[in-house]
Amino acid sequence: MTSASSIMNHCLSEGFVAAGVADAVPSRHGEALTTWLDDGRHGEMGWLADHVEVRIDPRVLVPNAQSVIVVADRYGGGPDGELPQGAGRIARYARGRDYHVHMKKRLHRIADVLSREFPGETFRACVDTAPILEREVAAAAGLGAIGKHTLLIEPSVGSWLLLGEIVTTLAIEPTRMQDQIDPCGTCTRCIDACPTGAITPWSVDATRCISYLTIEHRSDIDPEFHAGIGDWLFGCDICQEVCPHNQPTTLTSSASTHEAYEPRPAGRDETGASFDVREVLDWTEEDRRKAFTTSSMKRAKLDMIRRNAVIVAGNYLKKQDDPSLRQRLEAIAADPAELQLVRQAAIDVIHPS
């Protein structure tokens, strides 16, 4: 069996903040995943219900797989300062460049090196688009433990993490934590803080989650969730913002953040943390493409991001009346040529039932 130390050195040399190795074995939570899917808690993310047998067992993804190499990148999790009036906030992971591209490029380099060192073995790089239960595998590799918000908590840097894997036929000595303890204890801050009640201990109902609603949900958003969305234009960080493991300390402040995830101010406020919702309301497809170039935000189509902007704008109007903004929403609601998703959101905001 190959020692994990040289494998981890390859990973850390590529700038990953943590790395480990887990055995390629079936998930211990296969039944829970099936129940979650059967209950429809994945919402419109139909792809989660595809290839469940692969998610449950990495050996189906890569025949004869023996090990899974797991890596983690850290992205900025510092507190937001005061944002401009009318700002639509962006989840922190999406403020920099597209992590799929940057992680996969480095994982492929590692896989190429290992293929030369171990000819005849298979190495397949994956970054969350592949059907792998990556947080469970990362915990098994000793990178951390799963919190009640279902995110991986790494002891020294918290949960501001992006995960990637290399599934391989090479048998590598697994790395494990000495003591895998519950990182949450009696804490329920993430559960209490979630504005839409999406979180129960170690489970998230995606159909109520702000991140799902603003990124993955491609139809009308039920008005019952509008207030909870607040000023979140794309994604949500609330459960991580309140987590004790993510509060600034000397240790977490010294942890490195990959430069690719530094906020990009182009088209946004000077911090790169938000867009002006008034501008987003009037975006064309060309505007969207320009704003989302090299960003993981391109997952949100034009009608989705403008729908989100309508909801955020409506929430601002509840706090402080703005005649010009109200007139813009009224115009959207009255325009039969408007995109259906955007118009319906405006109708729900301007004429609540």
DSSP lists the bridge partners of residue 19 as 71
The single residue of 128, 269, 287, 322 carrying the catalytic annotation is 128
pLDDT of residue 132: 84
- Nearest one of 60, 119, 17 to 111, comparing CA atoms: 119
Sequence-ordered strand ranges (E) for 147-224 = 152-153, 161-168, 199-200, 203-204
- First-to-last CA distance in the chain? 64
User: Are 169 and 122 within 8 A, CB to CB?
Assistant: yes
Instruction: Please tell me the distance from the alpha carbon of residue 99 to that of residue 295, in angstroms, as a whole number.
Output: 8
Give the pTM: 0.91
List per-residue pLDDT tens for the chain, 353 residues long.
899 899 999 999 999 999 999 999 988 877 777 787 787 877 777 666 676 777 788 999 999 999 999 999 999 877 887 888 899 999 999 999 999 999 999 999 999 999 999 999 999 999 987 778 899 999 999 999 999 999 999 988 899 999 999 999 999 999 976 566 789 999 999 999 999 999 999 999 999 999 999 999 999 999 999 999 999 999 999 999 999 999 887 666 667 788 888 887 655 666 778 999 999 999 999 999 999 988 899 989 999 999 999 999 999 999 999 999 999 999 999 999 999 999 999 999 999 87
Instruction: Please tell me the distance from the alpha carbon of residue 201 to that of residue 185, in angstroms, as a whole number.
Output: 11
287 is catalytic: no
Give residue 104's Cα distance to chain centre: 16
Residue ranges per domain, the chain? 4-78+95-168, 189-247+263-350
DSSP lists the bridge partners of residue 232 as 89
Indicate the DSSP class of residue 2. Answer: B
- Nearest one of 215, 253, 259 to 237, comparing CA atoms: 215
Residue recorded with tokens 């050996």:
59
pLDDT of residue 169: 98
pLDDT of residue 192: 98
